[in-house]
Chain A
């Protein structure tokens, strides 16, 4: 057979880097566009793509773009290994491969008319940035909106300029793990930011992303405050190679994180996350 395999879900599309911005010491914001503009696909906040650095390999990275900007995709990548280092080193004009989008995304359609609490820990702010943009652009469709964002160090906050702008429209609360000389805000855990937060427990939805321990603590805090677990949504991370439910690696009990997630309502996963180790 000489015809190319049509619709091979493992074949990346050629993209090029438009912009590379150092977000903070170990994170890079990469804006990319497809070589063939017909390859720019629609995506939902909370979905992810597989980014391929030539010769190094492929990694799953959450979409980070403002969903209203259609001409390019942006990703924030932390340099944690070979592939991510190679991606972070790409310069404008450099080529890369992109597959996606994959996963279910945040349940934006279920949030209309509700108060929304967005809880981010560290890099967990990345998949929540499109959520904040969506909420801001459709501000009248939602009730009170709060962003509770925790970081290890003051200089590790992502999107500093945007945080200042967002503050004008929504309740933005920041916290760092430990006291720091260049920080005049509070220190502690993201969960400490719920103090004085007025919560209508019957009409509030929560979206959480961060390290798994932060997700657990934050979700439990929300349950403690009376928010039903089906309105607490979390985004999870696992090793994955295919993103289409075939490599088997991201299994979490009956679910494949790549296609049944990465976003789950807390009531569906709480037992596997908390009570049972190493699922």
Chain B
């Protein structure tokens, strides 16, 4: 996305519905945060009233709770268990269908017919996560046509975090808390004497949309208030990950005894990979109808924590121990991802920390490996 040099503007809280209506008028399907089953999940939304108004989250290792804020903020919480990958790279998707006659199979590709999504409330860390998955699914030689179609149509309405969770470490990963680019419009929510949003424009589409709704130019005080929000998120940032030399530390510590310590706690449940906004591993399922003449192939999310993931005929699983599976996941995120995609596989969103049932913390594990760098079992 190209950055524009449009000056910042302000939208009043009451005009957020006008913004959503303008997106709908453009044909976008709006998806954004909602409260369901005690957590914030991304789902269809229509008006600002569908957002988690007045909610905040308390997150810690293995903990996630929604609490009331005491105000009417629309975006006063951090990331929940879901990431935008559920729309761009759905958990279960039909790849193709096939029909068989005696001497022929006709393969029918599944066309990318998804709507143009408008993602409402994308955090800076998640913009980075989407870009990480772009590198996987939109490679020059083998682009996933369904992902690509959805991604190219998507409108990104970013929200700059005004608060951070105890599990957040985007500052360490240089991915937040403020969205620098990769959005069409970015909002910073200001709650004071009045409730409004400072808006930055990232693309021409964003600018065109802004021009359709009531707004005013931002003044110096507005920009100061927005900066104060970002500063607050920085001050609240709950965790740190020292990335200095980390890629190399991981690549030389495959045999560090720390992996055995973490494996004693790891349940290999795969929660971390499901909530991770960059994890992209998948499997396929083949099905037929009862007559056996119609077949389908479905792709579903999979995880490097499952035994089946590395199964080889005759040899069992390559990574059969818990230790090897946790090591693969973390080493991939923080080290081999750079070799493969020239970027970190971790964006510092903290989801894997909050949603690990035993509270394994990637920042703690990375720090422990740094401290014990070079230790090796005999």
- B111 in contact with A1 (CB, 8 Å): yes
Residues from chain B with a CB closer than 8 A to the CB of A95 are: 100, 103-105
- A97 in contact with B105 (CB, 8 Å): yes
Bound-state CA distance A99–B98 (Å) is 15
Q: Which of A1-46 contact B (CB under 8 A)?
A: 1-14, 16, 35
Of the stretches B68-76, B164-172, B302-310, the one at the interface is: B302-310
Residue B214 interfacial (CB < 8 Å)? no
- B332 in contact with A5 (CB, 8 Å): no
Instruction: Indicate with 1 or 0, residue by residue over A41-58, a CB within 8 angstroms of chain B CB atoms.
Output: 000000000000011111
Residue A247 interfacial (CB < 8 Å)? yes
Closest to A244 in B: B142
Instruction: Indicate with 1 or 0, residue by residue over B89-113, a CB within 8 angstroms of chain A CB atoms.
Output: 0000001101010011111111111
Residue B205 interfacial (CB < 8 Å)? no
A279 to chain B, nearest CB (A): 7
Residues from chain A with a CB closer than 8 A to the CB of B287 are: 55
- A4 in contact with B109 (CB, 8 Å): yes
Contact of A237 among B144, B312, B323, B324 (CB under 8 A): B312
Contact of A7 among B145, B295, B309, B313 (CB under 8 A): B145
Question: If A55-B295, A58-B284, A276-B255 touch, does A93 touch B96 (CB 8 Å cutoff)?
Answer: no
B298 to chain A, nearest CB (A): 11
Contact of A5 among B110, B282, B286, B302 (CB under 8 A): B110
Residue B283 interfacial (CB < 8 Å)? yes
B145 to chain A, nearest CB (A): 4
Bound-state CA distance A54–B95 (Å) is 15
- B310 in contact with A239 (CB, 8 Å): yes
Of the stretches B29-37, B46-54, B224-232, B314-322, the one at the interface is: B314-322
Question: If A14-B107, A96-B105 touch, does A276 touch B254 (CB 8 Å cutoff)?
Answer: yes
Residue A245 interfacial (CB < 8 Å)? yes
- B107 in contact with A241 (CB, 8 Å): no
Residue A256 interfacial (CB < 8 Å)? yes
- B107 in contact with A12 (CB, 8 Å): yes
Instruction: Indicate with 1 or 0, residue by residue over B211-237, a CB within 8 angstroms of chain A CB atoms.
Output: 000000000000000000000000000
Question: If A1-B112, A1-B113 touch, does A242 touch B282 (CB 8 Å cutoff)?
Answer: yes
Contact of A4 among B100, B111, B332 (CB under 8 A): B111
Q: Which of A16, A84, A248, A279 has the most CB of B within 10 A?
A: A248
Contact of B144 among A14, A246, A253, A276 (CB under 8 A): A246
B73 to chain A, nearest CB (A): 38
B313 to chain A, nearest CB (A): 4
A145 to chain B, nearest CB (A): 30
Instruction: Indicate with 1 or 0, residue by residue over B230-252, a CB within 8 angstroms of chain A CB atoms.
Output: 00000000000000000000010
Question: If A242-B282, A248-B280 touch, does A10 touch B103 (CB 8 Å cutoff)?
Answer: no
Question: If A97-B98, A278-B321 touch, does A58 touch B286 (CB 8 Å cutoff)?
Answer: yes
Residues from chain B with a CB closer than 8 A to the CB of A239 are: 309-312, 318
Residues from chain B with a CB closer than 8 A to the CB of A1 are: 111-113, 149
- B295 in contact with A54 (CB, 8 Å): yes
Residue A168 interfacial (CB < 8 Å)? no
Question: If A237-B312, A248-B282, A278-B319 touch, does A54 touch B107 (CB 8 Å cutoff)?
Answer: no
Question: If A5-B146, A247-B283 touch, does A254 touch B310 (CB 8 Å cutoff)?
Answer: no
Residues from chain A with a CB closer than 8 A to the CB of B299 are: 10
- A253 in contact with B283 (CB, 8 Å): no
Residue A267 interfacial (CB < 8 Å)? no
Closest to B341 in A: A245
- B145 in contact with A241 (CB, 8 Å): no
Q: 22 A-B residue contacts at CB 8 Å?
A: A5-B146, A7-B145, A10-B95, A12-B107, A55-B100, A55-B286, A55-B287, A56-B286, A57-B286, A238-B312, A239-B309, A242-B282, A244-B142, A246-B280, A247-B282, A248-B280, A248-B304, A251-B332, A254-B335, A254-B340, A255-B339, A256-B340
Q: Which 8 A-B pairs have the closest CB atoms?
A: A254-B339, A248-B281, A278-B324, A55-B288, A244-B142, A5-B145, A80-B313, A57-B286
Given contacts A12-B98, A81-B313, A279-B318, 12 further A-B contacts (CB under 8 A): A1-B112, A9-B143, A35-B104, A57-B284, A58-B286, A84-B313, A95-B105, A212-B315, A244-B139, A246-B137, A246-B280, A256-B340
Taking Cβ atoms with an 8 Å cutoff, the residues of A that contact B are: 1-14, 16, 35, 54-58, 80-81, 84, 93-97, 212, 237-239, 241-242, 244-249, 251, 253-256, 275-279
